[in-house]
A and B are shown apart, each in its own frame.
Chain A
Amino acid sequence: MTADRSVLPSNYPPGDLAIWIFILAELAVFAIFFAAYAFTRLQHVALFNEHQLTLDREAALINTLALITSSYFVVRAVSAIKVGDRRRCVHWLLAALSMGLLFLIVKSVEYVQHYSEGINLSSNIFYMFYLSLTFFHFMHVIMGMVILAAIAVMAARGRYSRQEHTGVESGASYWHMVDLVWLILFPLVYVMR
């Protein structure tokens, strides 16, 4: 936000091209999963509607806010490194990580709740999709946090600067992807009827 674009070389897409190819592939997997969910739902509308009500929408809303907030923090981290402020960059990354951790905790509580109710992948087709989709995304949150943590460590060690911060942008792009997927998953699975 505070970066002076006129001095920086143009850089689009931000980060490494390789991470974008990876993001594209990841999004393709989620897209197919979402499409499979949608088409299956068409055949079992009543069942999907009935069991959707058993999901914890408040928890999911908290998680949505947590991920959006974390994405904002990541944006601040990128802005910080663009003006060469490594310390701030690390702080914002840690803040984003804490939001990621909040997401994991809330989602885990939900899983424990389902588990205690005896719900599993074989309960019915709705729960199969709900558990598969959210767990696959859950693993991506962990993966994204590992990437953010790695970037934070490298930033703290002075690997990035005002001129060279491709790594921060790559990690940030990946994290935004994790956030974006949730922004589709949340309404699709928890809310839309």
Chain B
Amino acid sequence: MQYQSQAVAKPYFIAAIALFVAQVLFGLIMGLQYVVGDFLFPEIPFNVARMVHTNALIVWLLMAFMGASYYLVPEEAETELYSPGLATLMFWVFLVAAALTVAGYLLLSYSTLAEVTMNKLLPTMGREFLEQPTITKIGIVIVALAFLFNIGMTILRGRKTVINLVLLMGLTGLAVFFLFAFYNPENLVLDKYFWWWVVHLWVEGVWELILGAILAFVLVKTTGVDREVIEKWLYVIIAMTLITGIIGTGHHYYWIGAPEYWQWWGSIFSAMEPIPFFMMTVFAFNIVNKRRRDHPNKPAMLWALGTAVMAFLGAGVWGFLHTLSPVNYYTHGSQITAAHGHMAFYGAYVMINITIISYAMPLLRGRNAANPLKSQVWEMWSFWLMTIAMVFITLFLTGAGILQAYLQRMGENPQPFMVVQEQISLFYWLREIAGVIFLIGLVVYIASFFVGQNDPEATTAS
């Protein structure tokens, strides 16, 4: 750790991992509810479990993005963070807001939660992923503004690298697009437009810039390859991301009442969205091949390369599978979507956050470069367990989705939703088993922070 203030990243990373555990537990609960419908009913109904599963994911990814920024921005800018105190304060505000919101989901009925949080004054609740009470949303905006101020001032004061500027651009976009969450028009078509401007422009737009910047940072640090080479790639990747991703929003407009030309615009541009992810894969392997030193932190490198591959598969290939409008006509909102959602979020955003945590945590905990060998071995085991489990979750959901689309929407005699659900339950059971293995991987990952801590630090030779 080169700057004292980078230490504020640590609580963000720890809280992020804790929320990750919550997310996976609720995922397992839901996975079981797919096949055992009344499991934990009425205490945790499916809709509540789903809300916690997705909201915990979003919040922990945001927390980890913030931690990553607090860690890498001072180092890139070559100056201390503008205000470490503000960063720590915002951490607690964010954590308490997140905890209260989840408690609200679990303890109150959603309508009661809407009532006590005075949703009526500014109605923003009731939309997928944006279920948070308005007051939580306001909290998120305050935290995001304080965060941007802190990061922005640090960058202004110090060295302005491409990595920092791309990161800042991504984070600013993240904050700006979230503002659409406050606009909730009566007209359902308009509502969907604005809703997608948060959801899509986040994950298929500005978050990709954040991903690119973090990946570039870790690669600069671990490979020792010239910054100029890495920056050039970063430029090309973000340009392609924005060109394909922004107009690619059209693939969400097919069936919401938008004009017909979106069938074409959405199909053509989103078909190109895998390109920047493919470039990212080529980029990561290229840079690692050109490395000028062998960094002793092997898991960080593994996670970095894993991100590049899995993001391409999950976001790129699995996105392409159902992005063309004639295909989406049959697969829309089926388990194919769930398959894509799982692998894309894991491959792109979960893995990039674990990459930076993997790189930064040993340093934040006072090591020179890397964890002891035993800890590294455990972490690499967790990589393979979680990643392979996620591949299987995705494959089983894809199987379920293909069958679902066929039986429910394409066959000679299309069958009702619930009848089809019954027939694809085998896939749901298999997915649940893969989910349990994922949880085991996560436990191994957390254990890697504690095993072999008294051993000597790993060196390049090992």
Contact = CB atoms under 8 A, between A and B. Distances in A.
A188 interface: no
* A contact patch SS: helix
A29 B236 contact: no
Contact of B265 (A16, A19, A21, A132): A132
A25 B272 contact: yes
A36 B268 contact: yes
B259 A18 contact: no
Interface in A19-49: 19, 21-22, 25-26, 28-29, 32-33, 36
A128 interface: yes
Contacts of A25: 240, 272, 275, 279
B261 A121 contact: yes
Contact of B264 (A21, A22, A128): A128
Contacts of B186: none
B320 to A, nearest CB: 12
Given A28-B272, A29-B268, A32-B272, A22 B261 contact: no
A76 B303 CA distance: 48
B177 interface: no
Contacts of B279: 21, 25
Contacts of B232: 16, 18
A129 B264 CA distance: 9
A122 B262 CA distance: 10
B386 interface: no
A129 B263 CA distance: 12
Given A18-B232, A18-B233, A22-B236, A29 B261 contact: no
B198 to A, nearest CB: 24
Given A22-B239, A128-B261, A33 B275 contact: no
Contact of A36 (B240, B259, B264, B275): B264
Nearest to A140: B243
Interface in A88-132: 121-122, 128-129, 132
B259 A122 contact: yes
Interface string B231-260: 011011001100110000000000000011
Given A18-B233, A18-B236, A121-B259, A29 B272 contact: yes
A29 B269 contact: yes
Contact of A33 (B236, B243, B268): B268
Interface residues on A, range: 10 to 19
Contacts of B264: 36, 128-129, 132
A18 B162 CA distance: 16
Contacts of A28: 272, 275
B144 interface: no
B271 interface: yes
A128 B239 CA distance: 25
Contact of B240 (A22, A32, A129): A22
A19 B239 CA distance: 11
Contacts of B235: 18
B237 to A, nearest CB: 9
A121 B236 CA distance: 30
B260 A122 contact: yes
Nearest to B279: A21
A32 B271 contact: yes
B220 to A, nearest CB: 17
A25 B278 CA distance: 11
A7 B225 CA distance: 31
Interface in B255-297: 259-261, 264-265, 268-269, 271-272, 275, 279
Interface in B202-250: 232-233, 235-236, 239-240, 243-244
Contacts of A128: 260-261, 264
Contacts of A18: 232-233, 235-236
Nearest to B275: A25
Contacts of B239: 22
A48 to B, nearest CB: 15
12 contacts: A18-B233, A22-B236, A25-B279, A26-B243, A28-B272, A32-B268, A33-B268, A36-B268, A122-B259, A128-B260, A128-B261, A132-B265
Interface of A: 16, 18-19, 21-22, 25-26, 28-29, 32-33, 36, 121-122, 128-129, 132
Cβ-closest 6 pairs across A and B: A121-B261, A18-B232, A128-B261, A18-B236, A22-B236, A122-B259
